[in-house]
Amino acid sequence: MPRFTVPLGIFLLLVVLLGVGLTLNPRLVPSPLVDKPLPAFELPTVLDPEQRLSHDELRGRVSLLNVWATWCVPCREEHPVLVGIARRGEAIIYGLNYKDDREEAVNWLETLGDPYVKSGFDPTGRAGIDLGVYGVPETFIIDANGTIVYKHIGPFDDKIWRETLLPLVKKAQENSS
């Protein structure tokens, strides 16, 4: 009697769905800003309040925009990776210092090294909101046209950098040249 097998069929579908669900991360929310132009912002830099960092500056070449803060525990783990990338010249990195204290941020860059061309200082987090930042650290890959091509949420290590992010940076560079 086929109609008595209907519940079994539905249940098996449910099990497959839940099985797939186990491999997904429900906390990872993709940004709607991917493939969109980098939102406008203009901030003083961390090291020099007289200097400015604006979205315009990230146009013209492929770059990373890394959102960081001294209060963010995983940022400390991620920082050496960024320093390594900058030292090897693999990518140009801009920073967005999110809801932080300037003195502590300066201190952080002086003691741990400064991989950033510039770091925008965003103590209120308003620029962060426009960028859809919700978990620090976050890293955007921005192509030469100023379009966001990728966003990595959470810290990344050398492995993720080599296997996921660097290829995307290279691809963006090829596309723009």
For binding to another protein (CB under 8 A), which residues are involved?
Answer: 1, 4-5, 7-8, 11-12, 14-15, 17-22, 24, 26-33, 72-74, 77-78, 99, 124-126, 129-132, 134-135, 154-160
Q: Which residue has the tokens 């502590």?
A: 104
Residues 6+ apart with CB under 8 A from 169: 62, 64, 90, 91, 141
Residue closer to another protein by CB (options 27, 88) is 27
Report d(CA 28, CA 11) in Å as an integer. Answer: 27
Residue closer to another protein by CB (options 33, 112) is 33
Report d(CA 110, CA 98) in Å as an integer. Answer: 17
Least spacing, CB of residue 80 vs another protein, in Å:
10
Least spacing, CB of residue 50 vs another protein, in Å:
27
Residue closer to another protein by CB (options 47, 113) is 113
Residue closer to another protein by CB (options 78, 114) is 78
Residue of 60, 46, 52, 49 lying closest to 142 (CA atoms):
60
SS3 assignment, position 96: strand
Least spacing, CB of residue 37 vs another protein, in Å:
12
Residue closer to another protein by CB (options 47, 146) is 146
Least spacing, CB of residue 51 vs another protein, in Å:
25
How big is the CA angle at 94 (ends 70 and 168), to the nearest 5 degrees? 115
How big is the CA angle at 133 (ends 128 and 135), to the nearest 5 degrees? 125
Least spacing, CB of residue 48 vs another protein, in Å:
26
